[in-house]
């Protein structure tokens, strides 16, 4: 596909690292029943968020590795894009 210049383009990417709560895990399994995304709460750090809710996140080392990979891929394939908040 030919490349076009879009000088005023404001492009952003928001990668998802799949933090989850019990409710979001249920919704993800319903929406993507054959997913290979790891969602085992026992393998993830547990964090308390607003209103005493719980979420399960990735380890800091894995997040650092994922951020480097995702930022590299965004830079390679979407060089004009800003990389925003990761969920």
Summarize pLDDT for 62-73 with one digit per residue, the tens. Answer: 989 988 999 999
* 28 falls within a domain: yes
Give domain status of residue 63, yes or no: yes
The model carries a pTM of 0.68
Classify residue 5: in a domain, yes or no.
no
Instruction: Identify the H or E element spanning 13.
Output: strand 12-13
Query: How many domains does the chain fold into?
Result: 1
Domain that holds residue 77: 13-83
| Domain-located, residue 3 | no
Cα–Cα distance for residue pair 27/22, rounded to 1 Å: 9
User: Is 18 within the bounds of a domain?
Assistant: yes
Q: Where are the alpha helices (DSSP H) in the chain?
A: 22-31, 60-77
Q: Is residue 36 part of a domain?
A: yes
Q: Is residue 8 part of a domain?
A: no
Residue 11 backbone dihedrals phi, psi, to 5 degrees: -105, 135
Q: Encode pLDDT of 26-81 as tens digits.
A: 888 899 898 888 888 888 999 888 888 899 998 999 989 988 999 999 999 988 88
Which residue is associated with the tokens 């933090």?
19
50 within some domain: yes
Q: From CA 81, how far away is CA 48, in angstroms rounded?
A: 32
């Amino acid at each position: 596909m030919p490349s076009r210049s879009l000088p005023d383009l404001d492009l952003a990417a928001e990668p998802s690292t799949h933090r989850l709560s019990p409710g979001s895990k249920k919704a993800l399994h319903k929406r993507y029943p054959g997913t290979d995304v790891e969602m085992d709460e026992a393998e993830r750090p547990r964090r308390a968020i607003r209103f005493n809710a719980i979420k399960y996140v990735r380890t800091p080392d894995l997040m650092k590795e994922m951020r480097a990979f995702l930022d590299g891929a965004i830079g390679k394939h979407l060089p004009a894009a800003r990389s925003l908040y990761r969920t």
